Amino acid sequence: MFAPTSLRKKIFHHWLYLDPAKGDYVPKEKLGFNINGGREEGFRGFTYKQSIQPGKWKVEVRTDDGQLLGNVTFNVKEDTSETRDVKTIERL
């Protein structure tokens, strides 16, 4: 997200899960943080969710007044292996 240096907003990541029974995304968590000012490279912000269930997910990035800034969808697959490797994956 690119913004002027005077921008001061609270940004929220809305975590939504695609409920197979409903056929629609349902809200699971809303995590927020403040951004202050802009920079040439834009902003970068992260939120983390634990105990995430397998399936299709979407995270919407919204301002405190509900304006949609962007979103990303992804699939979570269950790890059925006997040993579990924990990895952090960065989306660039």
Instruction: Write out pLDDT tens, residues 51-92.
Output: 889 999 999 999 899 999 889 999 998 878 877 666 666 654
pTM for the full model? 0.76
CATH number of 8-76: 2.60.40
CA distances from 24 to 3, 19, 40 (A): 32, 6, 37
- Domain ranges in the chain are 8-76
Rounded CA-CA distance 40/58 in Å is: 27
pLDDT tens string 1-57: 555 556 678 889 999 999 999 999 999 999 998 887 666 666 677 888 888 899 999
